[in-house]
Amino acid sequence: MVLSGKMAAPGIAVGRVHVYKKAGFIPKESYVPKGKEQSHLDRYLAVKKSAFDELEELKILMQEHDPQKAEIFIAHQEIIEDVVINEEIPSRILNERWSGDWAIYQVYETVLLVLQKAADPLIAERAADFDDVRTLLLRLWYGNKDEGLSSLSEPVIIAAQDLMPSDTASLDRNKALALITEKGGLTSHTAIIAKSYGIPTVFGIHGLLEAVKHGQLAVINADEGKVILDPEDEIAAEYEQKYDAFRKDKEDAEKYLLKPARTLDGEKIDIGLNVSGVSAGELAPSSYVDAVGLFRTEFLYLGRDALPDEEEQFHAYKKVLECFGERPVILRTLDIGGDKQLSNLNFAREENPFLGNRALRFCFSNPDIFRTQIRAVLRASVYGNMWLMFPMVNSIDDIRRAKETVVSVKEELEKEGKPAGQFKTGIMIEIPSIALLADYAAQEVDFASIGSNDLCQYMCAADRMNSEVEPYYQSYHPAMFKLIKEVTGAFTKHGKSVSICGELAGDPLSASVLAGLGMRKLSMGAGSVASVKRALCSITVKRASEIADKVLECATAEEVQRELGKIKE
């Protein structure tokens, strides 16, 4: 039997299935006798403290081995101490005489329903964290032991309806051959950890738990989003060989992690890191990259009741700049709208939000928010090598208007005795109109970074969040590489820096082509750094240019795919 889902992390695995069904606690609606309310409140407070202490132990343990995982438990501690929740639960117990377990369940359920309906997938994914914390509180309320995935005795393929953040955080990476689930999102903590650990993962497998059995032999081809149950001996043997090759390939790539990305003929390619926060886990890869190629500042704004003020932003930006020292930090101004909505602002309903009031357009229509961020950025620029970048630029007018705001804010700060440091100003190239005007744009700014994900979306007229048009969103579309060549050439001609920070940059095959097109700066997620460095260290610029020329001659994405496949030959 073959089941299909979506790849969350690539790779191959062959092994026995471990069906994981986490205990669910759904209490019955119940109330306490009059006069007993305080005892239930006291018990809730004791359970809350025990939950916080349990998370503290896990956090300390993880900080020694994996700072990124530790951040998950910190986030869960923050949920336990959430002000609104800790007003609502006691109120329900004392004023309406709800039993403690019923109050915990129902108050968290209200939060979950709000989060699950959020348009922004990053916010919707937070529902898993709240559900995880609720399960922890109810487990402790009932006095049950934790029977998670931390005690697996042998390597297995883990099958589940869904995996909570605490499940994957406590997982022994050496005991997980693969993860397969019925639910799960590509931006979830599980997906992030699976990618960083290199665990093949397939999400969204309809009917998985009805089809799979505990101990059943299975083959996972995450690259194709396939799960093969009870494979025939020949197929199992074939995939055993593929798995062995996958494992060896991964180990070989990791040897390049601490090496510079230098081609066989000595050309240095700068490798940047895409950063979405300021936690220890986010900044841990700083030791093996050349820069922050994309600092997404939205993390400061999403999933909260109030906008971050200037001081909070200043300290966050300062932290990253100090971490990277003299190395560049490309900070992208607020990129809100499209698939990222703020819960603390009322956005007008748009039929096509990706074509609407988002990113720089949103900032222009909300100048107070924009100026507050620019003030924080310019103040922080004193502490490192800041490169300020504007997203969703459509025209030369957009560039000039954004630059005028920066000049105005800079003058304002200087009058207050808060001078800015040295910084560069640049743009993201993700709308075809500005890509076609790259020669003019290069004369207006210090640098550019190509956002290949949105550029592909707008060029192919295919919403990258819409699975119905997924076949039309072609990152290997020949026009993508033609446009990248034109942009790279235009900025290079004017002596201006140009980089790329979308999914193409983290793809080892296309990274070689990008080098052949003249690109010398690539930025990606931490999980892609080793394989991209290896690809670049294994090719000459001349060979990369030859491959790039072949790609530019292709007429279809399929033809490009075939040309890229020849790189490994």
Query: Is the sign of the CA dihedral 358, 364, 368, 374 positive or negative?
Result: positive
Please tell me the distance from the alpha carbon of residue 278 to that of residue 308, in angstroms, as a whole number.
14
Please tell me the distance from the alpha carbon of residue 231 to that of residue 218, in angstroms, as a whole number.
7
Place of tokens 């968290």: 108
- Closest to 190 (Cα-Cα) out of 210, 161, 212, 213: 161
Place of tokens 């950063």: 275
**Active-site residue 323, yes or no?**
no
Active-site position among 18, 40, 76, 189: 189
User: Looking at 378-417, which runs of residues are DSSP E strands?
Assistant: 385-390
340 neighbors 298 (Cβ within 8 angstroms): yes
Please tell me the distance from the alpha carbon of residue 430 to that of residue 294, in angstroms, as a whole number.
14
CB atoms within 10 A of CB 566: 10
DSSP conformation class of 337: B
Please tell me the distance from the alpha carbon of residue 297 to that of residue 307, in angstroms, as a whole number.
12
Query: What Å distances lie between residue 144 and 136, 137, 148, 200, CA to CA?
Result: 10, 10, 12, 31
User: Looking at 103-200, which runs of residues are DSSP E strands?
Assistant: 156-160, 176-181
Active-site position among 323, 456, 501, 554: 501
User: Looking at 182-327, which runs of residues are DSSP E strands?
Assistant: 201-203, 217-221, 226-229, 270-275, 291-296
**Active-site residue 65, yes or no?**
no
Q: Which residues contact 511 (CB under 8 A, 6 or more apart)?
A: 504, 505, 522, 532, 535, 536
Query: Is the sign of the CA dihedral 60, 61, 64, 68 positive or negative?
Result: negative
Q: Which residues are catalytic?
A: 189, 501
